[in-house]
């Protein structure tokens, strides 16, 4: 067993566990969007960042990926952590004003829409990659992937045509945190 | 590209032992007449672009036609980059060091007549010091070269990179022979550790420690291990790695072979950027020739050590310079970075321990082995030992590639080696560290250039780009430029980088249009901190640096845009207007003909006028006007 | 350039069926056809044992791959820092007006593709534009216009 602290509270976790897993086990809340227990963690949304102090340096890490270490001091709600979360939610709520889930999360951090608010209410995909990972790791169909890069990144099928690999199982619909898959699904399965 | 490997019959000379290499070197040197003059025609990318192959050809033909006596016929050698690219094509005479710049085929006849036949320099081809007006005859007297300490670059410009015999004659592969003849892997690692060599690609991690970690991990989990040369140089304004791979590819190979021996690796990879086709060609030829001589491949130098290197070309993604993304790309996957730990020294290529170093780092290894860790650690400053190559570009008189000991001040590089900025102004800022770096103002020109000092002033060493800016550059625009670059290159995986850079860019866009408020500037600062803290990899983690450093040192320029709606550098389009100074305009009509908007009117030989309501501020008139009558207000 | 299965097969023959060759194989296809035709894309993925969805992610991630044919002459305007300071952005805008295409696109006659590149590492020659394999050093809109006319006439 590995002992360390979360918010000054002594906790223990098993070798190979992540900070997020231990926090969940101990009922400590860390917000997530791209995390799902059924698939490998990905570390993309960065909402789950926590501040860690390993005795040498203090830095922010994604708790969904960072392995627990003996003696680590974890803060889940420090000023730096809050600043990162506020900005992530600020940008998400501006870019995806149609998502209820994001609206609620933003509200809980006191974040309101800004002058950069988008008018595309139908744009719901936050590129968390859960659908892609579920299709690959859980279903094994590998019908979709994250195509392109940077600001043009998108959930896509090959040649943007309906995917012959799609078995229309609906797993992607189930894991999608924002409802974006509702619009994409018919285009994927054809 | 000449394919000389077959003509060389290198296979016949396959070297069966470290001693055989020494003997082979002796035989090469014995064949060469040390008194035969050599004329070097630089064939680096810069000189190639300005016609150097034609200069070399014309020179060959002219010399043949001139009927020189047999013993004085000079050898024409084409080499890698001499670094002084802004003066190309360069022609240098050995052994005297007579240095000609901006040589064109038309000049060849006079060179043959005056220099080769009469033994005198051609005055007009000499370098003129822009500050003193003095004509300088020899390369070693030119300030650009005088203050440099060229160690990694020592062979570049002297050897033909496509002929391994040149490299061997210059002492290449001696360190490998030394290692294989009598050093244990442990001893090799100890030397690299003691030398204090830090990664030249940006991170600045201690190379020896990286190697040590990898070796320990191999011990824990035996199996295949790999070495990788990172030649995916992507920082805009940087071309050190390009020059090294093109000009002295064997230095990189030799360093990697030594590293492979220390780690016990049998396979290595060099990842070369898409935009560097010449580097790929020279490395390929070098690998082929090294294999033929038994310096690479099976049973190297007859010692039973097997190691080979494969070249992988990048496919156009800056982020692949990040080591975990590079590894993903080598495996045939999307070049997305992964969270570290685990580091490549533990789980790298195919989840096996991997040493990945920048090619310049590898290029340092042979000389460290040859001359010793203490020699290397004696140069530079504590914690930043040895020399570093920088590409000195932008608003500076002597543009090119320079190698200096670590710890030299920024001001000395720009003013002594670079000859200052054109027009005798002070430089305004120097941008170091690529898009992850920062802008260092003139007031901090005494900052020593080493890893820790640069980080302290809010910039970083990065791979060695050094871009000099003068008063005609706008620091808000520069910050916006770097964000455009990074938005284009971000992999888009994590939110702070993908959305955050776009948001910072939008906010800067407002400033460049004279919009926004000082509160927005504080917001921008807070967002920059958030992106720095929250991003997954180093690209996002350092992306706010250009914004943070310009706000820190050039806040007045931000305020000028926001409060006074003016751009002090006269760059930001929304805040400037173009006008023609009627006293300077000679009415040549060129601007009116070139203006794509039809905004310029006037009659021949009379001052012209710009109709600002039609002007699209494209700047074409400014660019074409010979008497410099177009002004930016 | 016509897309023939012989040409695709000839390229695939050079690569053992392992996923690590995906990027290299796409590079060869792109060099041969100036784009990645759908048939070639499928053949590469199937040959190397890479799921097509993953192949799609890779092929769209890297800037050097395209799914539409590129022009005979590729124009790459360098937008590295040195070129930016010396007016690289002006050059792209000038070329957009001259060729009547936006950056990233190909002229209707398939003669030119206009692209930007984030530094070609020839900063001493700034501003630089690479046309085909030729570097245009210290160039400007006027010189470029002339050069493109010459290239088009060849």
Domain ranges of chain B: 35-143, 164-186+194-377, 380-469, 475-564, 577-632
Condensed to tens digits (0 to 9), the pLDDT of residues B212-240 reads 999 999 999 999 999 999 999 988 888 99
Say yes or no: C43 and C95 in one domain: no
Of B331, B465, B618, the CB nearest to C94: B618
Give the β-pairing of B267-272 and B226-231.
parallel
pLDDT in tens, B131-176: 888 999 999 999 999 999 999 999 998 999 999 999 999 999 999 9
Q: Residue B538's closest CA among B467, B490, B487? A: B490
Any idea which of A184-188, B373-377, B461-465, C24-28 has the lowest mean pLDDT? Answer: B461-465
The domain boundary residue, chosen from C16, C39, C61: C61
CB contact under 8 Å between C87 and B275, yes or no, is no
Distance (Å, rounded) from C-alpha C121 to C-alpha C125? 9
Model confidence at B5, in pLDDT bands (50, 70, 90)? very low
Residues whose CB is less than 8 angstroms from the CB of residue B286 and which lie 6 or more positions away in sequence, other chains included? B161, B162, B164, B249, B250, B253
Query: For residue B383, what are its two tokens?
Result: 């914690």
- Give the closest of B85, B330, B331 to C124, CB-based: B85
User: Higher model confidence: residue A83 or residue B88?
Assistant: A83
Residue B8: what pLDDT? 62
**A158 contacts in C (CB within 8 Å)?**
41, 52-53, 55-56
CATH fold group of domain B35-143: Glutaredoxin (3.40.30)
Q: Measured between alpha carbons, how far is B608 from B593 in angstroms, rounded to an integer?
A: 12
Which chain A residues are Cβ-neighbours of C52 within 8 angstroms? 158, 165
Q: How much is the pLDDT for B33?
A: 84
User: What band does B329 get if pLDDT is binned at 50, 70 and 90?
Assistant: very high
Q: Which residue has the higher pLDDT, B75 or B206?
A: B206
Give A103 to chain C, closest Cα distance, Å.
30
Count Cβ atoms below 10 Å from residue C4 Cβ, excluding itself. 12
In the complex, which subunits touch C with 3 or more CB pairs below 8 angstroms?
A: A, B
Rg of chain B on CA atoms, in Å: 26
For the record, the structure tokens of A132 come out as: 């892609």
What does the DSSP assignment read for B491-533?
---SHHHHHHHHHHHHHHHHHHTT---HHHHHHHHHHHHHHHH
* Contact across the interface for C121 and B318, Cβ inside 8 Å: no
What is the CATH T-level fold of the domain B577-632, as seen in this structure?
Alpha-Beta Plaits (3.30.70)
**Residues of chain B neighbouring C50 (CB-CB closer than 8 A):** 332
> Which class in CATH covers the domain with range B164-186+194-377?
alpha beta
CB–CB of B60/B95 below 8 Å? no
Q: Chain A contacts of B492, Cβ < 8 Å?
A: 127, 148-153
Can you tell me the distance from the alpha carbon of B496 to that of B541, in angstroms, rounded to the nearest whole number? 9
Dump pLDDT digits (tens) for B508-528. Answer: 999 999 999 999 999 999 999
* pLDDT confidence bin for B557, thresholds 50/70/90: very high
CATH assignment at residue C97? 3.40.30.10
From the list A44, A83, A152, which residue is nearest B494 (CB)?
A44
- Shared-domain flag, residues C54 and C92: no
Determine the longest span between alpha carbons in chain B, in angstroms: 83
CATH second-level architecture of B380-469? Answer: Roll (3.10)
Task: Provide the ipTM.
Answer: 0.96
pLDDT tens-digit profile of A99-109?
999 999 999 99
Per-residue pLDDT at B623 = 87
User: B: neighbours with 3+ CB pairs under 8 Å?
Assistant: A, C
User: What pLDDT does B6 receive?
Assistant: 45
Interface test with B, best of A149, A154, A156, A177 (most B CBs within 10 A): A149
User: Is B528 an 8 Å CB contact of chain A?
Assistant: no
Rounded to the nearest angstrom, the minimum Cα separation between B171 and chain C is 28
Residue C66 lies in a domain: no
Nearest CA in chain C to A151: C61
- Output the pLDDT for position B102: 95
User: Is residue C104 in some structural domain?
Assistant: yes
Nearest CA in chain C to B596: C97
Contact B317 C63 (CB under 8 A): yes
Contact between residue B539 and residue B319 where contact means Cβ atoms under 8 Å apart: yes
For residue B587, how many other CB atoms are within 10 A of its CB? 17
CA–CA separation, C7 and A128 (whole Å): 39
| Nearest C-alpha in A relative to C38 | A159
3-state secondary structure labels for all residues of B83-111: CCHHHCCCEEEECCCEEECCCCHHHHHHH
CA–CA gap between residue B451 and residue B75 (Å, rounded): 42
**Residue B319 CB coordination number (10 Å):** 29
Reply yes or no on whether the pLDDT at B340 is more than 90. Answer: no
**Cβ neighbours of residue A94 under 8 Å, at least 6 residues apart?**
A113, A114, A116, A117, A118
B257: pLDDT strictly greater than 50: yes
Specify if C27 maps to a domain.
yes
pLDDT at B12 over 80: no
Rounded percentage of chain B residues whose pLDDT exceeds 70: 98
Contacting residues of B for A45, CB less than 8 Å apart: 494-495
Residue among B488, B495, B527 whose CB faces A45 most closely? B495
Q: Does a structural domain hold residue C46?
A: yes
Neighbours of B88 (CB within 10 A): 28
Mutate to test the interface with B, among A65, A84, A136 (most CBs of B within 10 A): A84
Report CB contact under 8 Å: A84, B496: yes
Which of C39, C41, C46, C57 is best to mutate for the A interface (most A CBs within 10 A)? C57
Q: Which two tokens stand for residue A7?
A: 């918010």
pLDDT, tens digit (0-9, with 9 covering 90-100), for C120-145: 888 888 999 999 988 999 999 889 99
C68 within a domain of the structure (yes/no)? no
Domain that holds residue C17: 5-61
CATH 3.10.20.740 fits A2-77, yes or no: yes
Residues 6+ apart with CB under 8 A from B109: B62
pLDDT for residue B4 is more than 50: no
Residue B463 has pLDDT above 90, yes or no: no
pLDDT of residue B71: 57
Give the span between the Cα atoms of B539 and B343, in whole angstroms: 16
Residue B42, pLDDT > 60, answer yes
End-to-end CA distance of chain C: 18
CB contact under 8 A, C22 and B332: yes
**How many angstroms separate the Cα of B172 from the Cα of each of B165, B208, B290?**
9, 22, 11
Of C41, C51, C56, the CB nearest to A147: C56
Residue among A146, A148, A158 minimizing CB distance to C52? A158
CATH fold of B475-564: de novo design (two linked rop proteins) (1.20.1440)
Q: Using CA atoms, how far apart are residues A44 and A133, in angstroms rounded to an integer?
A: 12
pLDDT in tens, A70-116: 999 999 999 999 999 999 999 999 999 999 999 999 999 999 999 99
B492 close contact with A: CB closer than 8 A: yes
Residue A42: list chain C partners with CB under 8 A: none
Residue C82 to residue B236, Cβ atoms within 8 A? yes
Contacts of A133 in chain C (CB under 8 A): none
For residue B2, the model assigns a pLDDT of 43
- At which residue do the structure tokens 């010979």 appear? B626
Contacts of A143 in chain C (CB under 8 A): 53
Q: Which of C19, C34, C61 is the last residue of a domain?
A: C61
Residue A5: which residues within 8 A CB-CB, separation 6 or more?
A11, A72, A73, A74
Question: If you write DSSP's letter for every residue of C42-80 in order, what string do you get?
Answer: HHHHHHHT--HHHHHHHHHHSTT--SSPPPSEEEEEE-S
For residue B66, pLDDT over 90 is answered with no
**CA-based nearest residue to A46, from B437, B484, B499:** B499
Separation between Cα atoms, residue B400 and residue B397, nearest integer Å: 10
Give every strand in the sheet of B75-79, ordered side by side: B75-79, B38-42, B91-94, B98-100
How much of chain C, in percent, has pLDDT values that exceed 70? 99
For all residues of chain A together, what is the average pLDDT?
96
Q: A130-189 in CATH: which number?
A: 3.30.70.20
pLDDT digits (tens, 9 = 90+) for B566-587: 999 999 999 999 999 999 999 9
Q: Give the Å distances, CA to CA, from B596 to B589, C54, C141.
A: 14, 45, 11
Name the token pair of B425: 């102004």
Cβ distance of C56 and A145 shorter than 8 Å? yes
Q: Which residue from C minimizes the CA distance to A147? A: C57
Q: Per-residue pLDDT for C44 more than 70?
A: yes
Q: Which residues on C lie below 8 Å from B334 (Cβ)?
A: 54, 57-58, 61
φ, ψ of residue B469 in degrees (nearest 5): -120, 145
Q: Give pLDDT, residue B70.
A: 57
Say if B255 is an interface residue toward chain A (CB within 8 Å). Answer: no
Beta-carbon contacts of residue B23 (< 8 Å; ≥ 6 apart): none
Q: Which of A59, A88, A146 sits opposite B495 (nearest CB)?
A: A88
Question: Does residue B187 contact residue B258 with C-beta atoms inside 8 Å?
Answer: no
Number of domains in chain C: 2
Q: Which pairs count as long-range contacts for C2-5, CB under 8 Å and 24+ apart, including other chains?
A: C3/C33, C3/C37, C3/C39, C3/C40, C5/C39, C5/C43
Q: Is A69 helix (H, G, I), strand (E, B) or coil?
A: coil
User: Which of the four pLDDT bands, split at 50, 70 and 90, describes residue C1?
Assistant: low
**CB-based contact B488 A150, cutoff 8 Å:** yes
Using CB atoms, which residue from B88, B236, B395 is nearest to C119?
A: B236
In angstroms, the CA B378 to CA B501 distance is 42
* Same domain, residue pair C56 and C78: no
- Whether the CB-CB separation of A130 and B538 falls below 8 Å is answered with no
In chain C, the residue whose alpha carbon lies closest to the alpha carbon of A162 is C53
Give the model confidence (pLDDT) of C48-96 as tens digits: 999 999 999 999 999 999 999 999 999 999 999 899 989 999 999 999 9
A144 → chain C, closest CA residue: C53
Judge: C54–A145 Cβ closer than 8 Å, yes or no.
Answer: yes
Cβ neighbourhood burial of C46 (10 Å; 0-12, 13-18, 19+): middle
Domain positions in chain A are 2-77, 130-189
Confirm whether A2-77 and A130-189 share one CATH topology: no
pLDDT value of residue B36: 85
Asked, as a colleague might, if the bond just before B152 is cis with ω within 30 of 0, I would say no
Residue C146 in any domain: the answer is: yes
Q: pLDDT confidence of B13, banded at 50, 70, 90?
A: confident
3-state secondary structure (DSSP) of residue B122? coil
Collect all residues of chain C within an 8 Å Cβ-Cβ radius of residue B317. Answer: 61-63
* Minimum Cα–Cα distance from A44: chain B residue: B494
When CB atoms are compared, the residue of C41, C52, C61 closest to A148 is: C61
């Amino acid at each position: 067993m590995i002992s360390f602290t979360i918010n000054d509270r002594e906790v223990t976790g098993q070798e190979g566990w992540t900070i997020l897993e231990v926090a969940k086990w101990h009922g400590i809340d860390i917000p997530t969007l791209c995390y799902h227990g059924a698939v490998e963690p990905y570390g993309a949304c960065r909402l789950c960042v926590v501040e860690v102090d390993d005795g040498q340096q203090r830095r922010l890490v994604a708790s969904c990926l960072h392995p627990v270490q003996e003696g680590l001091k974890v803060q889940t709600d420090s000023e730096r952590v809050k600043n990162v979360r506020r900005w992530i939610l600020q940008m998400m709520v501006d870019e995806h004003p149609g998502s209820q889930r994001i609206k609620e999360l933003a509200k809980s951090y006191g974040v309101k829409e800004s002058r950069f608010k988008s008018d595309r209410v139908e744009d719901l995909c936050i590129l968390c990659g859960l659908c892609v990972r579920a299709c690959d790791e859980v279903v094994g169909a590998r019908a979709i992937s994250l195509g392109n890069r940077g600001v043009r990144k998108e959930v896509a099928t090959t040649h943007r045509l309906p995917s012959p690999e799609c078995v229309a199982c609906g797993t992607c619909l189930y894991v999608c945190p924002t409802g974006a898959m509702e619009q994409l699904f018919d285009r994927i399965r054809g | 590209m000449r394919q000389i490997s077959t003509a060389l019959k290198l296979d016949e000379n396959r070297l069966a032992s470290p001693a055989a290499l020494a003997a082979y070197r002796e035989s090469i040197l014995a064949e060469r007449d040390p008194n035969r003059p050599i004329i070097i025609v630089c064939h680096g990318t810069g000189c190639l672009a300005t016609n150097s192959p034609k200069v070399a050809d014309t020179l060959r033909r002219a010399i043949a036609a001139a009927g020189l006596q047999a013993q004085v016929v000079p050898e024409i050698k084409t080499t890698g980059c001499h670094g002084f690219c802004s003066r190309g094509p360069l022609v240098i005479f050995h052994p005297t060091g007579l240095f000609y710049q901006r040589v064109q085929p038309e000049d060849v006849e006079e060179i043959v007549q005056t220099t080769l036949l009469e033994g005198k320099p051609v005055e007009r081809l000499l370098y003129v010091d822009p500050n003193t007006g003095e004509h300088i005859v020899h390369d070693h007297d030119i300030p650009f070269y005088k203050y440099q300490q060229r160690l990694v670059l020592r062979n570049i410009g002297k050897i033909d990179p496509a002929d391994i015999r040149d490299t061997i004659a210059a002492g290449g592969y001696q360190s490998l022979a030394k290692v294989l003849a009598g050093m244990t892997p442990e001893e090799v690692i100890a030397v690299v550790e003691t030398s204090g060599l830090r990664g030249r690609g940006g991170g600045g991690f201690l190379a020896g420690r990286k190697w040590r970690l990898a070796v320990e991990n191999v011990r824990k989990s035996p199996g295949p291990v790999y070495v990788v040369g990172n030649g995916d140089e992507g920082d805009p304004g940087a071309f050190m790695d390009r020059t090294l791979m093109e000009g002295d590819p064997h230095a990189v190979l030799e360093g990697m072979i030594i590293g492979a021996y220390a780690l016990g690796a049998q396979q290595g990879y060099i990842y070369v950027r898409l935009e560097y086709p010449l580097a790929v060609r020279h490395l390929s030829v070098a690998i082929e020739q090294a294999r033929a001589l038994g310096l690479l491949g099976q049973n190297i130098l007859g010692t039973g050590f097997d190691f080979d290197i494969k070249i992988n070309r990048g496919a156009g993604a800056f982020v692949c310079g990040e080591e975990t993304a590079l590894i993903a790309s080598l495996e045939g996957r999307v070049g997305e970075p992964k969270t570290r730990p685990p580091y490549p020294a533990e789980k790298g290529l195919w989840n096996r321990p991997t040493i990945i170093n920048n090619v310049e780092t590898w290029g340092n290894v042979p000389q460290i082995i040859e001359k010793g860790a203490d020699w290397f650690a004696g140069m530079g400053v504590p914690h930043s030992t040895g020399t570093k190559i920088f590409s000195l570009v932008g608003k500076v008189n002597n543009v090119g590639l320079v190698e200096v000991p670590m710890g030299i001040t920024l001001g000395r590089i720009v003013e002594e080696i670079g000859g200052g900025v054109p027009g005798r102004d002070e430089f305004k800022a120097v941008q170091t560290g690529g898009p992850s770096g920062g802008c260092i103002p003139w007031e901090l020109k005494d900052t020593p250039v080493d890893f820790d000092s640069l980080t302290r002033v809010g910039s970083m060493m990065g791979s060695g780009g050094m871009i000099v800016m003068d008063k005609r550059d706008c620091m808000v625009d520069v910050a916006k430029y770097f964000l455009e670059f990074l938005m284009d290159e971000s992999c888009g995986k994590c939110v702070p980088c993908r959305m955050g850079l776009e948001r910072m860019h939008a906010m800067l866009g407002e400033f460049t249009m004279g919009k926004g408020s000082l509160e927005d500037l504080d917001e921008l600062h807070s967002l920059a901190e958030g992106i720095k803290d929250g991003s997954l990899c180093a690209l996002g983690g350092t992306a706010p640096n250009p914004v943070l450093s310009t706000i820190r040192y050039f806040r007045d320029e931000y305020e000028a845009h926001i409060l006074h709606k003016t751009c002090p550098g006269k760059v930001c389009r929304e805040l400037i207007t173009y006008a023609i100074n009627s006293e300077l305009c000679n009415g040549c009509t060129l601007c009116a003909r070139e203006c794509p908007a039809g905004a310029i009117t006037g009659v021949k030989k009379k001052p012209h006028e710009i109709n600002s309501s039609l002007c699209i501020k494209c700047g074409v008139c400014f660019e074409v006007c010979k008497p410099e009558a177009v002004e930016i207000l | 350039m016509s897309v023939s299965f012989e040409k695709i097969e000839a390229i695939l023959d050079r690569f053992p069926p392992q996923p690590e060759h995906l990027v290299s194989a796409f590079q060869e296809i792109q060099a041969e056809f100036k784009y990645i035709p759908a048939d070639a894309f499928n053949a590469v993925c199937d040959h190397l044992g890479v799921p097509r969805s993953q192949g799609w992610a890779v092929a769209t991630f890297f800037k050097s791959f395209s799914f539409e044919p590129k022009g005979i002459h590729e124009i790459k305007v360098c937008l590295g820092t040195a070129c930016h300071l010396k007016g690289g952005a002006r050059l792209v805008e000038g070329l957009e007006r001259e060729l009547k295409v936006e950056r990233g696109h190909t002229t209707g006659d398939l003669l030119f593709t206009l692209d930007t590149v984030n530094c070609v590492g020839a900063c001493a020659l700034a501003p630089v534009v690479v046309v085909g394999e030729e570097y245009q050093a210290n160039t400007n809109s006027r010189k470029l216009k002339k050069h493109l006319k010459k290239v088009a006439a060849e």
